[in-house]
Structure 1
Amino acid sequence: MDNMKISLLFQLSGFHSTLPLAEIEAMLSLYGSFNLLEKTERFAIFDFVGKRNVIDSLRRRLSLVHGVFEFLGRCKLGDIETFFKEKQVQIEMPYRIRMHGMLINDVIDRVADIIENKSLHPCVSLEHPKTSIELFIKGKDVYITKLLFYPDKSFMKHSPKHRPFIRPVAMDARIARCMVNLSRIANGKLIDPVCGTGGILIEAASMGIKVYGMDKERTMVKGTKQNLEFFGYSGDVMQGDVITLDKLFPHNYFDAVVCDMPYGISSSLGNIRRDVLYSKAIVAMRNVVKKGHYVVIMVPEEINLLNVKMKLIEIHKERVHTNLTRRIYVLRKECD
């Protein structure tokens, strides 16, 4: 497949302080090399060189990005006419111009004048443009972009409130999808060995990934199967204990392990001390994931997973409610 070189501006959702950028970088890494040019609270700009199908994958999979744009360049507000003349920006009609941040009507009018003076048959369509020029304002600077796409948000129908089988504490579909993306799996086999109601498996299955699930409780196994079937997906879901994962599956079998570990009282953990459970579970996960592949695991904030014989890639905090904050660890298996 032909490679492409492009500069991309990602409009961040603001849903989380660190996960949107991490999700973008994880996805870009699957298809080529990238360089972060600039990061603000509202957007991030990357240079990317790699496979062209990155665009389709970003459209289908991103969960914490509002929009993706081709970044054309930056200039001062007073220099926007010069920018458009020197850059020779290609405009396919009909077109529209939109601004993000401070609304300055004069800027829109100036850009419109440039576009319409260069076109034989200028035509504006606010609803169905072929070219959408999007201007991001930051102080006295304007970042000029073309809209490429808005990520597919149909996955939000997977939210816990829409599932036939639910439990009081269920992971937000956006976080579940992001965790799958952080595992850097393009295709292949993914397992959630403490699958609960199946949120992570649903998101992975919707991306065309072969999913495996396991839970100690028979009710959860039945409920996960019900939820997968409800959304039209399938998976191999069984009853089992996470600490025996490497007894049930061969070593180096999975392309990714993604899970939200239980954090309840002793009885809900099978009467095993939580630190012991996590220690044994992480060893089993490491054994079944392939070398060079990733384990993405959510645990309570007080749990430390820094000495688990895998390379720590990143840590993110996720606040569930006032009394519960969890950490998402992204770990890579470096050797057998």
Structure 2
Amino acid sequence: MLYVEILGNLPEMARDEVRAMLELAGGEIVSRDYLLLGVNAGEEALPFLDRLGLSHEYGKLVIEADSVEELLEKARGVEWPIGGTFKVDTETMANCRHNVLDLPRKLGAVIHSKGFRVNLSRPDTLVRVYCGERLHAGVRLRFFDPKDFERRKAHHRPFFRPISLHPRISRALVNLTKARRELLDPMMGAGGILIEAGLLGLRVYGVDIRPEMVEGAGMNLRHYGITNYELRQGDATGLAGLFHKRFEAVATDPPYGTSATLAGRKRDELYRDVLGSIHDVLEPGGRLAIAFPADFDGEEEAERVGFKPVGRYYQRVHKSLERYFYVFER
């Protein structure tokens, strides 16, 4: 068993991102306690979990218990997968219903009695205890350092445009498509989604109607060491004429606002035409992850052109922008 601790800002989207990766790996989510997911999967799932964007960490789940006493009793009887020194760290979630104030010391003593050495400053292994409705203890395998994502935010790129998805969300959109080989962003802007897809080893394709964006997105991709890409200037409403192929997956964040950013076209009309164009070039069974403002019924319009809804996730960005992230299947 494994555990995944998801982030709390878009928890349902984070859960479904984990589920999408497990579907590729042959695993499944079997339990949830607030932000902690219990996962039935083996080591073959780890490369897919390494792709996650909206998660804090994952690890090996060793014990689940309904009380501190039960946890400590089970801890005495299990084999701890600890290499070198260790430290016990407690995560008290918002729904914690147990007194865990002294638990790190007590659990540390039990593990120490089995022959492992404690190192509180620089441990080789971090034992994590999560307190929610139940108690869950495991060993961290991977921590997703937020600094890695922060370094790829828009203002750190050589070609800078202020309106851009956070890299964590861009990564999640890529993963929600379940892409294995390739991904198309037909309204790529400065290339934020393509950067995340490219860093996962996917071949990326991008389109933008503005030539400066095509040049700038290429500059950004190369800045992060991504070379397996194909970018074209063109109209996202006519993708079949730009590429003589179908795509495994599509993810995009269309512009929301002015006539300038929408190339002089009416917003809702543009969105409808783009959905139809994406449907034309997506493989049967392929997925689209896309964002729309909350006042546009993306689900109804996507179903009209033949898409099947898979997921919808609300986000309030600020007082003048509320949006939904959608996942559709062709």
Q: Which of 311, 315, 318 is the aligned partner of 1:318?
A: 315
Deviation at 1:321, TM superposition (A): 1.9
Deviations 1:242-279 (A, max 9, x none): 0110122235x211111011222234323332222222
Paired residue type of 1:286: H
- CA distance 1:127–1:27, shift in 2 (3 Å): farther
- CA distance 1:129–1:273, shift in 2 (3 Å): same
What residue ranges of structure 1 are gaps of 5+ in the alignment? 1-6
Deviation at 1:152, TM superposition (A): 5.5
Calculate the TM-score normalised by the size of structure 2.
Answer: 0.89
* Alignment correspondent of 1:244: 238
Paired residue type of 2:310: I
- 2:137 counterpart SS class: strand
Paired residue type of 2:327: V
- 1:269 counterpart SS class: coil
- CA distance 1:269–1:118, shift in 2 (3 Å): closer
Structure-2 separation of matches of 1:320 and 1:80: 41
- Do residues 37 (structure 1) and 31 (structure 2) align? yes
* Alignment correspondent of 2:258: 265
- Do residues 134 (structure 1) and 131 (structure 2) align? no
- 1:256 counterpart SS class: strand
What residue ranges of structure 2 are gaps of 5+ in the alignment? none
Q: Which of 176, 188, 207 is the aligned partner of 1:182?
A: 176
Deviations 1:97-121 (A, max 9, x none): 11111784532232233223332xx
- CA distance 1:164–1:35, shift in 2 (3 Å): closer
Indicate conservation of the 8 Å contact 1:193/1:213, yes or no: yes
Paired residue type of 1:322: K
Structure-1 separation of matches of 2:186 and 2:220: 16
Structure-2 separation of matches of 1:220 and 1:65: 30
* Alignment correspondent of 1:3: none
- 1:35 counterpart SS class: strand
- CA distance 1:171–1:81, shift in 2 (3 Å): closer
- 2:15 counterpart SS class: helix
* Alignment correspondent of 1:218: 211
Q: Which moves more between the two structures, 94-103 or 63-72? A: 94-103
- CA distance 1:91–1:219, shift in 2 (3 Å): closer
Deviation at 1:170, TM superposition (A): 1.6
Structure-1 separation of matches of 2:239 and 2:78: 57
Deviations 1:15-68 (A, max 9, x none): 32322112111111111131331231x32222236xx33213322x21111111
Number of residue pairs matched by the alignment: 318
- Do residues 20 (structure 1) and 11 (structure 2) align? no
Q: Which of 279, 295, 312 is the aligned partner of 1:286?
A: 279
Structure-2 separation of matches of 1:72 and 1:30: 24
* Alignment correspondent of 1:47: 40
